[in-house]
Structure 1
């Protein structure tokens, strides 16, 4: 049986794995499922059609699965899905999706999400991201993997953030941020290529050098976006282990309907 504090209120229809721990005065609704090894702290509210995976640590006062803050919402049974091994700190608010999108807000695996972060309806956040205190995601935001998002930053609706991107403290991001790019400011401006994250993941010196070349073509040569994409594509094959990074960048740029930070 799950370890549930006597003051917690867990709906009998909720599905909690045997090794789940629930703290004092927490409320868990009927359509919630929580996987093995997850710890829910005191004074949390987990409601809606919410599925939480294994070995997550959810700190006190988190609100997960509440209705989306969208005036078009009419009570449809949309979802929040959270993966495995995430750290979710105090006063975080994750809302369910809307039927105007895919009806789903999704958090991946191994994310470190600090206090007061808001994840609005229909956001999709990948894996291994570090999201600092008080970051605010508007609806429909897409975040890749291995990103670093600085505290108190605001992310406009429908914006995409690529893999290994880094956003500085108190940044206002209203356009797409390409992979491997550091940006900061209000509004955001590109600062540099992000190499430290890839280096920690084992990228070779040659692969990091290719990231620099891609960055120069996209941001430093004064090329149009279409010309930059063509020259980036021409880099394929010069450093074979970097071809995946080139393809990642080109795929991201092909979908940049809001424009990119440049």
Structure 2
């Protein structure tokens, strides 16, 4: 029986690479995001320094998955629209009949996400709540119901150092703002609760911090000066992607629950990625 992975935020960056990594591991893959076709317009879409929407789409990710010989299901989903979140879970289950791995990678990434504390608007925090707390909860509850019925399943929540530590510099100088940090802090707490409550029923849940990953989205949100200010190593997106596949498929991975896994040192320690460093 072919296993199924459902990867959110898979139009570009870490999500795209994670979808491809699961396909290479033999999974059929469902992918979600707002951008189905290249160049599609959407409200609150992240722009680069020139004001141009970032490249990437579900269509291009799906084509790459199919080129690897696996099935790909495109599921449009907007984290700010609860109905679309619930519809996405229903669509994947209707198509495949099961979900073995859920990777909650998608986040709200508007250009207001790293606003300075004194200029942060209530509307931004409302969007952060929907995108980082409510939508992942609704989606994960729906998927977990199916996983519990089948007796096994893995949930991976992708967090960030912003949810676990203070910024190195102020938001105006390229650090992260309160909204993003608060959103990721909420993400960091989910897996431990899931593992504690449902671990005895075949469910495993992990929190993964990719570290500084050189994606277009990171450059757009923090800027080049922000990346320099972090003063830590960086990795390409396939590194955390392969760590997530390892966590989902290796028997010894169960002991790494109830903690935040720093993907880059973890990959080195366990020899997960062959072509890096």
- Shorter-chain TM-score bucket reads under 0.3
TM-score, normalized by length of structure 2?
0.24
Based on CA coordinates, which of the two structures has the bigger radius of gyration?
1
**Between structures 1 and 2, the one with greater strand share:** 1
